[in-house]
């Protein structure tokens, strides 16, 4: 079972957590969560899957558009091709 690098952060309105798989060979899956800061997720909450191939983010699932803050965090340690 592969492990994950966990990144926690916040932007102006939301908190987020990103789970990026340590494994970089083949197709592996990570995840993300985003929730509003004021209510702690009671008003706004979303989550989904991140799909990596050979260490590169190639797709995601769960929402129409992946938040820029999530993309920026992933881009710090992996290639992003969306």
At 4-34, the pLDDT tens digits run 999 999 988 899 999 999 988 999 999 999 9
**Torsion, CA 48, CA 28, CA 55, CA 5, rounded to 10:** 60
Rounded to whole angstroms, what are the CA distances from 39 to 11, 13, 14, 17, 42? 15, 11, 10, 16, 5
What is the predicted pLDDT for the residue at 12? 87
pLDDT of 79 over the 60 cut: yes
pLDDT at 2 (0 to 100): 60
Per-residue pLDDT averaged across 1-6, rounded?
A: 80
Domain residue limits at 31: 4-80
Structural domains of the chain, count: 1
């Amino acid at each position: 079972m592969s492990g994950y690098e966990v990144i926690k952060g916040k932007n102006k309105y939301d908190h987020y957590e990103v789970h990026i798989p340590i494994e970089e060979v083949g197709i592996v899956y990570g995840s993300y969560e985003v929730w509003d800061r004021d209510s702690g997720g009671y008003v706004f909450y979303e989550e989904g899957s991140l799909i990596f191939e050979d260490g590169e983010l190639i797709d995601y699932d769960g929402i129409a558009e992946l938040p820029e803050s999530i993309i920026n965090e992933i881009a710090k340690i992996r290639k992003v091709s969306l």
